Amino acid sequence: MGSRSRGDGNYRNPCLTLHQPWASLLVHGIKRVEGRSWPASIRGRLWIHASSKVPDPDTIKAMEDFYREIYALNGITDLKFPENYPISRLLGCVEVVGCVTCEELVCWEDLPESVRLEGQTDYCWLCEQPQKLIIPFEMRGFQGIYNLEKKIYEPAVRGLSPVKAPSPVKFPLPDPQDPFSLKPGSLASNSNGSNASEIHKLPSLNAAITGARAAGSDFLKKRVSQSEIQEDDNTPVSSRTRKRSEKKAQGMDSELAVRADE
């Protein structure tokens, strides 16, 4: 399947496996920020694959409620969600144009409030130009970023269809000549001390944010509680990855407790 790595790599047709409903929300242009615990090492097209885990109905509801509430801040009240959330499928692609820290994103006043509120993790991959496959391809995924096989890439690229996103965003680059100029630390000097918590005013919005964080936290807890954590049924996760996931889950719990009191 090609290289699999979280660091710098020679990616020809990079792909990232995500769990549902996050995978479909990204490909449908509803989700514009992909949260990771590690910074993006790529720019340009990133293929999105949905893992084999069947999404829990409560998780789907929590994430749809979250996006419904944050889009309403910008006057969009007729948000249309995917009709289904397929698993073990290559769904489409997005263009990764930059990566910033959560702190930078929530203070970036040039962006709509709804986008700033998508910053829920350490690193925020900024995504534009979503495209979906007319017919999603069944395939197995891997951890981290990996290259699509040629036999999958060639028919997939011919089957892409542009997505009409509900509120597309153009993330401005600090240096338009440098595609990697929008990176962690590049916006630090632009921060004026504002914080996304200033936006949290409506009780329904606070509840939706809390629900989304809880959904992510519960999802991680379910993964680390298994005796042997696996990705796409076959790929075992190392003890190092397990410890990292446990630490991340604990961190999300702490943040959830803090934000619930805001």
- Whose tokens are 């999958």? That residue is 152
Assess whether pLDDT exceeds 70 at residue 199: no
pTM above 0.85, yes or no: no
Assess whether pLDDT exceeds 80 at residue 70: yes
Res 179: pLDDT: 94
The span from the first CA to the last CA of the chain, in angstroms, equals 46
Res 201: pLDDT: 58
Q: Are 142 and 235 in contact (CB under 8 A)?
A: yes
The C-alpha atoms of residue 224 and residue 237 are separated, in whole angstroms, by 10
Q: How many CB atoms lie within 10 A of CB 159?
A: 15
Assess whether pLDDT exceeds 80 at residue 223: no
Res 86: pLDDT: 98
The C-alpha atoms of residue 136 and residue 141 are separated, in whole angstroms, by 14
Band (pLDDT 50/70/90 cuts) for residue 231 is very low
Quote the tokens at residue 20: 């549902």
**Mean pLDDT, rounded, for 128-148:** 96
Q: Are 230 and 140 in contact (CB under 8 A)?
A: no
Compute CA distances 132 → 23, 129, 147, whole Å.
Answer: 11, 10, 18
Assess whether pLDDT exceeds 50 at residue 121: yes
Assess whether pLDDT exceeds 80 at residue 91: yes
> In the chain, what percentage of residues exceed pLDDT 70?
74
Res 236: pLDDT: 42
Closest C-alpha to 87, from 47, 136, 52: 52
- Pick the residue with more confidence: 201 or 158? 158
